[in-house]
Amino acid sequence: MATIFWDREGIIHFDWLPEKTTINSEYYVDELKELRQAIKHERRGKLTRGVLLQHDNARPHVSSKTMASIDDLGFECLPHPSYSTELALSDYWLFGETKRPFRGKRFEDFKRLEYEIQQWEKGTPKEFYTTGLEKLPERWKRCIKLKGEFIETFDNQL
């Protein structure tokens, strides 16, 4: 499993979860600290303008320890309704596109998979990430219009 943080310019921080490791509050807080460092080095000026964080409501993401750390790091959380993968930016935009070129492929080892994903990311234009972010407000509006029904039904009902 991977933890990925991204913005309109691309992936900021990417980390593979070590084998036999569970994401808990401590692990997630460490990832947030690494994210802050990555933003500081790769996105100069963004920390002073503020960081808006969107993640789901998994326990490690909303624990009191995590929320205190988010506040300490100067991040702001975008509210996210429970069980709403159709509104989770990475779920509806990033993961599907990331998986597409690898469907049906087998990799000789983990390092090769990691390399291929890095190559995919390097070849992905910034517009891909910008488009995903720009679609989020429209998805919110559509979800409200459909009274919370899943996005998969949107195309048939609009």
Per-residue pLDDT reduced to its tens digit, 5-21: 989 898 899 888 888 88
* Long-range own/partner contacts, residues 106-115 (CB < 8 A, 24 or more apart): 110/16, 114/16
The predicted model gives 100-109 an average pLDDT of: 86
The predicted pLDDT at position 37 comes to: 96
Q: How far apart are CA 148 and CA 143, in angstroms?
A: 5
Question: Is the predicted pLDDT of residue 96 greater than 80, yes or no?
Answer: no
DSSP state, residue 56: -
Q: Give strand ranges (E) for 1-158.
A: 2-7, 10-16, 51-53, 75-77
147 three-state secondary structure: coil
Phi and psi angles of residue 14, each rounded to the nearest 5 degrees, phi first: -135, 130
With beta carbons less than 8 A apart as the criterion, state whether 36 and 73 touch: yes
The predicted pLDDT at position 86 comes to: 66
pTM for the predicted model, two decimal places: 0.76
Q: Name all domains of the chain by residue range, CATH numbers in brackets.
A: 2-157 (3.30.420.10)
Question: Is the predicted pLDDT of residue 155 greater than 50, yes or no?
Answer: no
Q: Give the confidence band of 26 by pLDDT, cuts at 50, 70, 90.
A: very high
